[in-house]
Homo-oligomer: A and B are copies of this chain.
Amino acid sequence: MQTLVPEAGRTTEHLETGQAMHALLKELFPLCRSITGEGLRATVGRIAELVPLDITEVPSGTKVFDWTVPDEWAVEEAYIENERGERIVDFKDSNLHVVSYSEPVDAWLQLAELRRHLHSMPDRPDWIPYRTSYYSRSWGFCLSDRALNAIPDGRYHVVIQSSLTEGSLTLAEYRHRGACDDEVLVFAHDCHPSLANDNLSGLVVAAFLAAWLRERPTRFSYRFVFAPATIGSITWLSKNESTLPRVRHGLVLSLLGGSGPFHYKVSRAGNKAIDRTAWHVLRTEFPGSQRLEFLPWGYDERQFCSPGINLPMGRLTRTPNGEFPEYHTSADNPELVSAAELGEAWMACLKIFEALENDNTYVNLAPKGEPQLGRRGLYRSTGGYQDVPERQLALLWLLNQSDGVASLLDIAERSGLTFSALSRAASDLEASGLLARNAQRDRTT
């Protein structure tokens, strides 16, 4: 049995990891990330201090499937100034103030005209929205609705000192080598500026999972990819097409903070091993978890699950995108995300990985009637009680279902027991000589 989850005895491990993750999240929060540029490079540079990353810079103009890698964007300065020279909106205060990929502008405008370039949220008057305009040349500012409404009529000086120049898009990945080449692919997008849950939460959980696995032997190899949303995953896919057949299971990680329960969104096929495993672990060990059907909307599962790629990849979040009010606003800040939530998400991923690693198939070597567990010390000696302990049930389910075809996951799903209880019981029965691995049916060789 492959053990990845910190032992029950050491219950503080995920809390300590949670705190370390939250500290990293706060450190990364101020950087002005976009789908290209220095903020992105600084972010992956910081993660590379945790695990060694392979960095690939893909030049602007490169054709990637139906897309082209865009020019690199940078902002020096950006503000709106009134006639008295007072800056009423300034990029220095929040990097959400500027619409991502705004083109340069330096002009005096009447408020009425300016307003067509201003974005606010009337129903959330104190929050700054997050807006982008990657592929359509324009410029804009985002600000709170309260600030917008406080702007008196008049002329304003609008300045965005931005540049869009040939550069490159930054991809980063860490590969953990396991006993076999079959891979678990983990993806987190890293292009959002000062937003904490979306997706610094996914970024730090992925980084700490990579660091944890690095020190442990595994059956599968694990590939962790950090890239911008959409154009980043498309670029990565186009550069890695030849190795995609190795991907046996995959997870897109995002929105792992916030107080909502876990939401697992299944892959395009909907019934892959990752779908069944992730959902079984979540429903049996994380009460309140929700299972979402596939939908070609959301994060980079849209690319991984496009029909010409079609990887067995699901998506793990807590409350999904668009379903919590702080989504894509300045209220998605480090206080929205707690160390405990990050730690629990990290633990949930490890439990999913552990189940993937241990999904073996066994044969009951004493299949006629139940074997006498009592004389092997696997059964309580006094009979007649009303209840049955979970461990005993796990032994009975394994013996009943282990026909050399049903795997531990099949048995876990049918019994409703946790995968880990069955996995431990399988080890005990194997040690007692009652179960044998059916290596030919193993999900990986």
Q: Which residues of A contact B (CB under 8 A)?
A: 64-67, 99, 119, 129-136, 138, 140, 230, 233-234, 237-238, 241, 268, 295-297, 302-303, 305-309, 321-322, 327-328, 364, 366-372, 374-375, 381-388, 393, 396-397, 399-403, 415
Bound-state CA distance A322–B321 (Å) is 45
* Contact assessment for B369 and A234 in the assembled complex, using a CB-CB cutoff below 8 Å: yes
* Contact assessment for B381 and A309 in the assembled complex, using a CB-CB cutoff below 8 Å: no
Bound-state CA distance A403–B399 (Å) is 42
Given known pairs A99-B382, A307-B401, A396-B297, the reply for A238 and B368 (CB within 8 Å) is: yes
Of the listed residues A136, A268, A364, the one surrounded by the most CB atoms of chain B closer than 10 A to its CB is A136
Bound-state CA distance A369–B381 (Å) is 60
Contacts of A297 in B (CB 8 A): 388, 393, 396
Copies of the protein in its oligomer: 3
* Contact assessment for B306 and A383 in the assembled complex, using a CB-CB cutoff below 8 Å: no
Contacts of A328 in B (CB 8 A): 384-386
Shortest CB-to-CB span from A185 to chain B, Å, is: 15
Closest 10 CB pairs of A and B: A308-B367, A136-B381, A296-B400, A308-B368, A132-B383, A66-B371, A296-B396, A234-B369, A322-B386, A307-B367
Which residue on chain B has the smallest CB distance to residue A403?
B307
Bound-state CA distance A322–B385 (Å) is 8
* Contact assessment for B400 and A306 in the assembled complex, using a CB-CB cutoff below 8 Å: yes
Bound-state CA distance A302–B231 (Å) is 56
* Contact assessment for A369 and B306 in the assembled complex, using a CB-CB cutoff below 8 Å: yes
* Contact assessment for A133 and B383 in the assembled complex, using a CB-CB cutoff below 8 Å: yes
Shortest CB-to-CB span from A159 to chain B, Å, is: 21
Contacts of A134 in B (CB 8 A): 383
Contacts of A66 in B (CB 8 A): 366, 368-372
* Contact assessment for B129 and A384 in the assembled complex, using a CB-CB cutoff below 8 Å: yes
Contacts of A401 in B (CB 8 A): 296, 307
Contacts of A238 in B (CB 8 A): 368-369
* Contact assessment for A327 and B393 in the assembled complex, using a CB-CB cutoff below 8 Å: no
* Contact assessment for B302 and A382 in the assembled complex, using a CB-CB cutoff below 8 Å: no
The contact of A372 among B67, B237, B306, by CB within 8 Å, is B67
Given known pairs A297-B396, A375-B135, the reply for A309 and B383 (CB within 8 Å) is: no
Shortest CB-to-CB span from A82 to chain B, Å, is: 26
Shortest CB-to-CB span from A64 to chain B, Å, is: 8
* Contact assessment for A399 and B296 in the assembled complex, using a CB-CB cutoff below 8 Å: yes
Shortest CB-to-CB span from A183 to chain B, Å, is: 19
Bound-state CA distance A415–B31 (Å) is 38
The contact of A138 among B130, B237, B381, B385, by CB within 8 Å, is B381
Shortest CB-to-CB span from A316 to chain B, Å, is: 20
